[in-house]
Structure 1
C-alpha cells in the first residue's frame, strides 16, 4: 500500500484540476494515491477523472458528494483514507516535482520520533516567492499554531498522520452553511503533536478569484454558526492574548449575525466576551457594509 494519500476537494474546478494532475504525473516518486472528493461539481469533473484514470501512472480514487463545502469534503476524505500519511492539495495548486519523494524520504527518517506529521512551504505559482515567511533557520519541529504565534506568516503545506486526523472530531456541519475553518482540526492536533519541519517548497499555489480566501466578508454573513464555532475553539486554545481578543470580537460578531442571544453564556471566555460585544456589533456593521456596497 502507498505511504501517502494526496486528497483534492474540488467544486467546478475541472479547468484547474488538470494542472494538479499534471504536477502529480511529473513526480519523481509515485508512492502515493490521489483521492479526488468532488463536492457536487456540474462542470464535467467526473469525465475528466475517468479519462485520467485510463493512463495515470498512479492510483486515482474518485468520490462524489452533494455540495456541502470544503470542510465536508475533508470529512469525506478522512473517512476514506487508509494510508499512513495524508496531504490536502487544493484544486488549483501543483506540487513541485520532487515533493512526494522528499516527503517519503523525510518521514522514513523521523516517523519513530512521535511527530504528528510534517510541515513544508508553499510558494506563489506565478512569482515563485514563498507564501508568507520561511521557517527560522535551525527550526526542526513546531506546531502550526506555535509557528504563527512566533511571528510566522502565510499558508503552509501540511502532511498529517492519518490515524491522528481520524481520531479527532470531524468538522462540525451546520444546516444551510458551507464553510468551516480548516484550522479547526489543526488546532486540536496541535494540543498533542508537533510537526517535523521541511524548510523547502513543496507546493506552488494560486489563489482563485472565486476562492473562499477572496470572498471572506461574504462567508462571514453566510456561515455565522461555523465561524462562531471556530472562534470558540480558538479562544479555548489561543495563540496569544492579542489573538484571543480578536477571536472574541469575531465570535461576538458571528453570534450576532447567527441570531444567537446566548452567545455570552456559551462563550468559553464570558467576561472577555462581555467586554468585546460592542466591538462585535461594530464588526457586524462593517461586514454588512463590505458585502452590500457595490
Structure 2
C-alpha cells in the first residue's frame, strides 16, 4: 500500500494531462499512487491513461464514471483510497520538482505531532501560479485551513489524512455538478488544525476551460450546492455571516424554494436581511444575463 494518493479528476483534458504525468514520472520517491477519475470525458483521456498504466513508470489507478462533476469524483476517489495521505492535483497542474513526494512525506513525518491544541488532519503547502508571489518569511507554522489558504490567496496544496477525510464527503444534488472546495474545509476547521509546509509543491495554470475562469456562471449553474455551502457557514457561524445569509436568500429565490425562512439556520436574521437578499438576486440575474 502506498503512503500517498495523488488524485486527479479530469474531463476532456487529454491535451494537458501529459504534463502532470511527466512530473509524476520524474519523482525520485515513488511511494504514491496516481488515482485518475475520468469524469465522462469524450476525448481520448481513457486510452491515454491506459497506455501510461502499461508503461508501468508510475503506479496508476483509473476509474471512469459518467459526467457528474468534481465533487462526485472526489467522493469516489476518497472511497477507493487506502493510503495514509490524500492530495488533489488538478489536471492542468504539475508537481514543481522531482522531490515533491519525498520532501512532503519527510516534512509530514517530522512535524505531524508538533501541535497538540487540536488534532492535526493534514498539511498545507503552496501552489505557484503564473502570476503568484509567495512570501515565506512571515508564514505561520500551523493553523486553520481557512487562515492558511486566505494568507496565500487560495494558492495552496492540501494533503489530508484519508481516514479523517472519509468523514467529510461533499453533498450532491440532482442535476448539479459542483460544490466549492471550501465546503469541506469549513467542516474540517471545526475539529482540526493543519501544519504549514513552507514549500512550493506544484505549479498551476488556470485555463479557459477550467472552473476558475467561469466561476460566477458555475455557481449559478449549481445553485443548491452553493446554497448549502452558505447554509453551512451560517450554521457554523463563520466569518462573513451577513454575506452568507444574503447569498442564502438570493440562491433560495433562484431555485424557487419557499421554505427559505423555515429552513434557515438563522431565521430572524434571514427575515431582517430579506430585502438585501432580494436585491442581490436581481443583481445576480442581471449579471448572468450579460455574461451569456
Q: TM-score, normalised by structure 1?
A: 0.91
Asked whether the equivalents of residues 40 and 65 of structure 2 are also in contact (C-alpha less than 8 Å), the reply is: yes
- Which 10-residue stretch deviates more, 154-163 or 110-119? 110-119
- The equivalent position to 1:122 in structure 2, one of 119, 127, 149, is 127
The yes-or-no answer on 1:54 pairing with 2:54 is: yes
Is 1:247 the counterpart of 2:247? The answer is no
- Paired residue for 2:258? 261
Q: Match for residue 100 of structure 1?
A: 101
1:100-123 C-alpha deviation (Å, 9 max, x unpaired): 111110111123454111001111
Matches within 5 A, 1:180-199: 180-199=179-198
With the length of structure 2 as denominator, give the TM-score of the two structures: 0.92
Contact 1:34/1:59 (8 A) holds in 2: yes
2:228 counterpart residue number = 229
Distance of 1:134 and 1:271 partners within structure 2: 43
2:167 counterpart of 1:167: yes
Kindly indicate whether the alpha-carbon contact (under 8 Å) linking 2:149 and 2:155 is maintained by their aligned counterparts in 1.
Answer: no
Q: How far apart, CA to CA, are the structure 2 residues paired with 1:36 and 1:64?
A: 8
Q: Quick check: 1:137 aligned with 2:134?
A: no
The Cα shift of 1:8 comes to 0.2
**Aligned-pair CA distance for 1:277:** 2.0
Question: What is the Cα-based RMSD across aligned positions, in Å?
Answer: 1.8
Partner SS, residue 15 of structure 1? coil
Cα separation, 2, equivalents of 1:152 and 1:246: 22
Aligned equivalents of 1:190 and 1:198: distance in 2? 18
Cα distance in 1, alignment partners of residues 268 and 137 from structure 2: 37
| Aligned residue-pair number | 286
* Runs ≥4 residues deviating over 6 A: none
Q: Give the Cα separation in 2 of the matches to 1:268 and 1:30.
A: 46
| CA shift for structure 1 position 152 | 5.0
Structure 2 alignment gaps of length 5 or more:
none
Which whole-Å deviations, capped at 9, do the CAs of 1:114-166 have from their partners, x for residues lacking one?
Answer: 41110011111x35x33xx55662521111123357x5523311000000001
- Could you report, residue by residue, the CA deviation over 1:190-247 in whole angstroms, capped at 9, with x for unpaired residues? 111111101121111111112222212222322111111111111222442xx11111
